[in-house]
Amino acid sequence: MRGLGAVAAVLVLAATVLGLAGTPRAAAAPAHATRAEVPAGVTAGVAVFDRTTGTFTERLNENMRFRSASVVKLLIALDYLRTRDPRTLPSADRTRLDSMLRSSDDGAASYYWGLGGRTAVIDRTVAQLGLTDTANPPAGYESYWGYVSLSAADTVRIYRYVLDTASAPVRDYVMGNLRQSTRCGTDGFDQHFGIAGSFERPWAVKQGWSGFGSSGGCTPKPSTAVPVAAAQRSAPLAAAGVDLTREALHTTGTVGTGDRTIVAVFTLHPDGTPYGAAYTAVNRLTRSLDVPGAVRPSGTWFGTWGSGVNVRLRPATVDSARLTTLPAGVEVLVSCQKLGEAVSVPPYTNAWWAYLPQYGGYMTNIYISSPENRLPGVPDCAS
């Protein structure tokens, strides 16, 4: 689901202990300044929980409510599986649920939201998981599952429930799908920002985005489920203090071997922020966090320009498959560069191509924000 942004906000460090029904309460976080570096103009809610030590390494506005966008699909899935064994699901349901969890299929979410009684889904999961900040959409907008409000703190509770309390079949099914997150959502948005764009695998993610129109800059696959309800197109200005209009981009999931660390980052961006700019801001914020067990990829980050920029299998435009397109203006990680086919975009011509390890392909250096044809400080690719 899409829609949000943000005025600069005062970020308050809280010390509330996060509990979870059926799960031991976490120890209080040690008194220290958060490492989170929130980009100018961005409002953020952050919680990072180390399951090995049972403590938080980051907490910033963790109880602040944000409209959930697609992160609520975790609760929609858990509610449906509450009385069902994922191992014996009908094939049609498994296909829908797989697509909803891996590729953020809105049609599948709308199907299960309606099947579960819409707001009753949240009533049941709030009670079952012991959530304290989660609330239903405002009156008159009950069909808007993306208007469910969530906090970073409650999101940590959700993942702790899945990992530590849910049955093994439910845990394995949900987390197995999140580990197979596709780069492209079914709506054409590149969803590998934040956790997926900041750390090496293993990770598992459920992302959320809202308010960016149709400029997700990705090569989508067809949706496998019913169309999104037409009602999910406009929004009231606010509900119970939750912003429902500015551009929102959220990254949630686990990082490290054995799902060591749970990460929840919710963000709002200034009105009119392009998707690529928000994507870059969330990546920078996520990279700044103290995430035990995380492995950070090697390479150099560069800005890009232009829209519809292709990432290709080889450093050429001929006989080289297009893997995806970049969100306009997004920052990319470059590990090496290689001479390939000369590309001309007047007044520029360049035969150098940058290898993007997170995409598994090359982009022409023309669209990288660097003054020379060859990127400074970037080695040549070995082959």
In the predicted structure, residue 156 carries a pLDDT above the cut 60: yes
pLDDT of residue 16: 35
Count of domains observed in the chain: 2
110 φ/ψ angles, rounded to the nearest 5 degrees: -65, -40
pLDDT of residue 154: 99
pLDDT of residue 40: 98
- Looking at the structure, do residues 272 and 168 belong to the same domain, yes or no? yes
Look up the CATH number of the domain holding residue 47. 3.40.710.10
Q: How many CB atoms lie within 10 A of CB 323?
A: 17
Domain containing 236: what range? 43-287
Q: How many CB atoms lie within 10 A of CB 169?
A: 14
Q: Which of 239, 261, 287 is the last residue of a domain?
A: 287
Q: How far apart are alpha carbons 341 and 338 in whole angstroms?
A: 10
- Looking at the structure, do residues 201 and 79 belong to the same domain, yes or no? yes
pLDDT of residue 167: 98
Q: How far is CA 286 from CA 90, 127, 255, 259, in A?
A: 38, 30, 12, 17
- Looking at the structure, do residues 326 and 273 belong to the same domain, yes or no? no
- Looking at the structure, do residues 333 and 226 belong to the same domain, yes or no? no
Q: Are strands 336-345 and 332-334 parallel, antiparallel or unpaired?
A: unpaired
pLDDT of residue 217: 82
pLDDT of residue 215: 75
User: Is 282 part of a structural domain of the chain?
Assistant: yes
- Looking at the structure, do residues 227 and 349 belong to the same domain, yes or no? no
User: Is 31 part of a structural domain of the chain?
Assistant: no
- Is the pTM of the predicted complex or chain greater than 0.95? no
Q: How far apart are alpha carbons 359 and 326 in whole angstroms?
A: 10
Q: Which of 287, 322, 357 is the last residue of a domain?
A: 287
> How many contiguous H segments (helices) and E segments (strands) does the chain have?
8, 16
- Looking at the structure, do residues 279 and 315 belong to the same domain, yes or no? no
Q: Mean of the pLDDT values across residues 244-254?
A: 98
pLDDT of residue 213: 84
What's the distance, CA 363 to chain centroid?
23
Q: Mean of the pLDDT values across residues 42-70?
A: 98
Helix (H) or strand (E) holding 322: strand 322-325
pLDDT of residue 34: 80
pLDDT of residue 10: 31
User: Is 374 part of a structural domain of the chain?
Assistant: no
**Among 85-89, 241-245, 322-326, which stretch is predicted with the lowest mean pLDDT?**
241-245
- Looking at the structure, do residues 64 and 189 belong to the same domain, yes or no? yes
User: Is 1 part of a structural domain of the chain?
Assistant: no
DSSP single-letter state for residue 358: T
- Looking at the structure, do residues 250 and 319 belong to the same domain, yes or no? no
Q: Mean of the pLDDT values across residues 178-189?
A: 96
Q: Mean of the pLDDT values across residues 157-167?
A: 99
Higher-pLDDT residue of 214 and 268 is 268
- Looking at the structure, do residues 182 and 320 belong to the same domain, yes or no? no
Q: Across the chain, what does the average pLDDT equal?
A: 89
User: Is 380 part of a structural domain of the chain?
Assistant: no
Q: How confident is the model at residue 216 (pLDDT cuts 50, 70, 90)?
A: confident
User: Is 375 part of a structural domain of the chain?
Assistant: no
